[in-house]
Amino acid sequence: MTVWQELAANRPQRRSWQLTRAVRRDLRNGLLFVSPWLVGLCVFTLYPILASFYYSFTVYDIISPPQFAGLANYQDLLTTDPLFWKAVRNTLYYVAVAVPLYLCIALAVALLLNMKLRGMALYRTLFFLPSIVPDVASAMLWAWILNPQFGLLNALLRGLGIPTVGWLSDPNWSKPALILIGLWAFGSSMVIFLAALQDVPEALYEAAELDGAGLLRKTWNVTLPMITPTIFFNLVLGMIGAFQYFTTAFVLSQGTGGPASSTLFYSLLLYNNAFSYFKMGYSSAMAWLLFAFVFLLTWLVFKSANRWVYYEGENA
């Protein structure tokens, strides 16, 4: 910073775009205050993004320096690596099923809680609790609940006369099992929804009631449009998070993504390539493909927002 100040002080003054003293002082102070983040931006974001882009065109095992390999990593990933496409399918399945499901449940429960029932705070706490449980601990707990022979869930199904399944040990049921585990922790999106619901002006409901709207109509034509910004927020964050789904699948499959690669999610494969096989170039290529795809999808969601997200105070 001092070097920069000296430079600024010694620079010949140019009248045309010379900053006033007050503006210069504010600029200096502003930069000074945000400097911790600027350092982090350069060291932990910008440099790594560029470096991983470069690594993605190399063969790099950490011990010897990266060797340029052109598009070989991308070519291997897209054409020859069967695990890559398996991981892509698993991840897309998870994103496509889990994200809408969590959003709907979180919203539905938030709508219920917004009925101004007595004990709302207690319910809210109960629904929120699971989402603060550490992923590792929740994985342990659910491994036991979903145990095929002695687990609570299968005992319940047996009691109801419903055929039981192997859950985490059955490749057909392992992903639904993981989605179920994730569902337990829908609380934080619910809290966000609830706050948005409480912000919907009462006058709008009163007006709708005068027009003879019932509960369903009020929900569909007043509540939902008013909270579309929050749905949008939860959708974007939920999507970005789901593409990076890792811990629970890793813990429950001991890092293998089993059974039969059915829980081999994108981040898990990336982790294994990077930190079990030390294929840093290859994993960087994986990271960049993910980045490009998530970026594209987020951009599409943002573009679609004009059609369905309503911002109050924005005159159409």
Partner 1 sequence: MANESISSQSLSLSSGATQDRTVRRHRPWLRRIVGHLVLIVLATVFTIPFFWLLSTSLKPPEQLFRLPPEWIPSPVMWSNYAKATTFIPFFRYFGNTLYITIFNVFAILVSCSLVAYGFARIQWPGRDSLFMVLISTLMIPGAVTLIPTFIIFRNLGWVGTPNPLTWPAFTGNAFYIFLLRQFFLTIPNELSAAAKIDGASEFQIYWRIILPLARAALAAVALFTFMANWNDFLGPLIYLSDKNQFTLAIGLYGFLSRVRTEWGPLMAASTIMISPVLVLFFFTQRTFIQGITMTGIK
97-126 positions binding partner 1, by CB under 8 A: 109, 112-113, 115, 117, 119, 123-126
Taking the least distance from each CB to partner 1, the nearer of 23 and 71 is: 23
Regarding 305 and contact with partner 1 (CB under 8 A), the answer is: no
Of residues 80, 254, 276, 306, which one binds partner 1 by CB under 8 A?
A: 254
132/101 Cα distance (integer angstroms)? 20
Regarding 65 and contact with partner 1 (CB under 8 A), the answer is: no
Three-state DSSP state, 59: strand
Say if residues 264 and 83 touch (Cβ distance below 8 Å): yes
CA 74 to chain centre: 25
Regarding 167 and contact with partner 1 (CB under 8 A), the answer is: no
283/52 Cα distance (integer angstroms)? 9
Regarding 49 and contact with partner 1 (CB under 8 A), the answer is: yes
Regarding 294 and contact with partner 1 (CB under 8 A), the answer is: yes
Say if residues 109 and 101 touch (Cβ distance below 8 Å): no
Regarding 30 and contact with partner 1 (CB under 8 A), the answer is: yes
Regarding 161 and contact with partner 1 (CB under 8 A), the answer is: no
CA 262 to chain centre: 21
Taking the least distance from each CB to partner 1, the nearer of 32 and 104 is: 32
Regarding 57 and contact with partner 1 (CB under 8 A), the answer is: no
Residues 78-97 that bind partner 1 (CB under 8 A): none
304 contact partners, CB below 8 Å, separation of at least 6: none
Say if residues 250 and 115 touch (Cβ distance below 8 Å): no
Of residues 13, 149, 306, 315, which one binds partner 1 by CB under 8 A?
A: 149
Regarding 37 and contact with partner 1 (CB under 8 A), the answer is: yes
Q: Is 303 exposed, middle or buried (0-12, 13-18, 19+ CB in 10 A)?
A: exposed
Tell which residue, 290, 190, 286, 283, has the closest CA to residue 241: 290
237/63 Cα distance (integer angstroms)? 36
Regarding 43 and contact with partner 1 (CB under 8 A), the answer is: yes
Q: How far is the CB of 97 from partner 1 (least distance, A)?
A: 20
End-to-end CA distance of the chain: 46
Of residues 8, 23, 71, 162, which one binds partner 1 by CB under 8 A?
A: 23
Taking the least distance from each CB to partner 1, the nearer of 31 and 71 is: 31
Residues 187-216 that bind partner 1 (CB under 8 A): 188, 191-193, 195-196, 199, 214-216
Of residues 77, 87, 145, 178, which one binds partner 1 by CB under 8 A?
A: 145
Regarding 296 and contact with partner 1 (CB under 8 A), the answer is: no
Regarding 32 and contact with partner 1 (CB under 8 A), the answer is: yes
**3-state DSSP percent of the chain in helix, strand and coil, to 5:** 70, 0, 25
Regarding 128 and contact with partner 1 (CB under 8 A), the answer is: yes
Q: How far is the CB of 141 from partner 1 (least distance, A)?
A: 5
Tell which residue, 259, 264, 253, 268, has the closest CA to residue 171: 259
99 contact partners, CB below 8 Å, separation of at least 6: 235, 238, 239, 242
Q: Is 178 exposed, middle or buried (0-12, 13-18, 19+ CB in 10 A)?
A: buried
Taking the least distance from each CB to partner 1, the nearer of 72 and 141 is: 141
Q: How far is the CB of 123 from partner 1 (least distance, A)?
A: 5
Regarding 240 and contact with partner 1 (CB under 8 A), the answer is: yes
Taking the least distance from each CB to partner 1, the nearer of 119 and 163 is: 119
